């Protein structure tokens, strides 16, 4: 506990913030449960989700690790990897993963960063009001190493893994088809699994839109997901 308090005081003194959406993910070398890794280089050409948890051997975090692992193949099917993080030593991570396997019959296959505070400092993951623990954050990084989304949760509320999967799938559609994703996609109340066409850039484009796409008006057009 004393070491964690020192880390937090050091971070507050240095006054470091967090990167923003659209920034390059900071280059760093990290110790993980699967050995040393260089980020974002280790996942070059892939999406990856970095998620921090407050601490090992805690109830909500344990349920999250199981939930992430149960969906790990679905993430991989989207060309996406997972990597966890907390300010805990690597032997603590390894013992916790061992406990999950022995008691919950779930084998955690993705790496977990054992942070000394440097990674949490760089990413702005220590909440001043929570003293020593990393917040429950999610960074979604694209194959070029650019941060595309950042999510924050309080310690008391576990994450919705289906939403994180939905976001990664949505980003894949955005990149592949140059579209926008509607609310509650793929079950949007107006267009179901349809994908929104970006706004027109000129008058000529406006004239062609209603013939080419389904439209409520020229500024709100969409295309069927399956007929691309």
Whether residues 149 and 211 fall in one domain: no
CATH number of the domain bearing residue 148: 3.40.30.10
Could you give the residue numbers annotated as active site? 61
Handedness of CA 160, 164, 170, 174 (dihedral sign): positive
Distance (Å, whole) CA 35 – CA 114: 10
- Choose the final residue of a domain: 160, 193, 214: 160
Distance (Å, whole) CA 210 – CA 221: 8
Residue 166 maps to a domain: no
Whether residues 6 and 64 fall in one domain: yes
> DSSP assignment of 39-79, as one string?
ETGGGTTSEEEEEE-S-SS-HHHHHHHHHHHHTHHHHHHTT
Whether residues 32 and 123 fall in one domain: yes
| pLDDT of 168 | 98
Residue 193 maps to a domain: yes
| pLDDT of 228 | 55
Q: Tens-of-pLDDT digits for all 228 residues of the chain?
A: 445 444 445 544 454 567 999 999 999 999 999 999 999 999 999 999 999 999 999 999 999 999 999 999 999 999 999 999 998 999 999 999 999 999 999 999 999 999 988 898 899 887 666 556 778 899 999 999 999 999 999 888 999 999 999 999 999 999 999 999 999 999 999 999 999 999 888 888 888 888 889 999 999 999 988 765
Residue 170 maps to a domain: no
pTM of the model: 0.89
């Amino acid at each position: 506990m004393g070491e964690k308090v020192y880390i937090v005081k050091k971070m507050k003194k240095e006054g470091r913030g967090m990167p923003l959406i659209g920034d390059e993910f900071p280059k760093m070398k990290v110790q993980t449960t699967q050995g040393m890794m260089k980020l974002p280089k280790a996942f070059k050409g892939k999406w990856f989700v970095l998620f921090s948890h407050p601490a090992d051997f805690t109830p909500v975090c344990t349920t999250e690790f199981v939930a992430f692992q149960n969906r790990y193949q679905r993430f991989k099917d989207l060309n996406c990897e997972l990597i966890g993080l907390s300010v805990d030593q690597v032997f603590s991570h390894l013992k916790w993963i061992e406990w999950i396997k022995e008691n919950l019959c779930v084998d955690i296959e993705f790496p977990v960063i054992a942070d000394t505070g440097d990674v949490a400092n760089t990413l702005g993951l220590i909440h001043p009001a929570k003293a020593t623990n990393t917040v429950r954050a999610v960074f979604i990084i694209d194959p070029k190493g650019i941060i595309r989304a950042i999510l924050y949760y309080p310690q008391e509320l576990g994450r919705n893994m289906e939403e994180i999967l939905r976001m990664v799938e949505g980003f894949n559609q955005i990149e592949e088809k140059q579209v926008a994703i509607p609310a509650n996609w793929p079950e949007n109340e107006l267009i179901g699994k349809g994908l929104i066409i970006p706004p027109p850039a000129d008058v000529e484009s406006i004239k062609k839109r209603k013939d080419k796409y389904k439209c409520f008006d020229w500024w709100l057009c969409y295309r069927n997901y399956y007929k691309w």
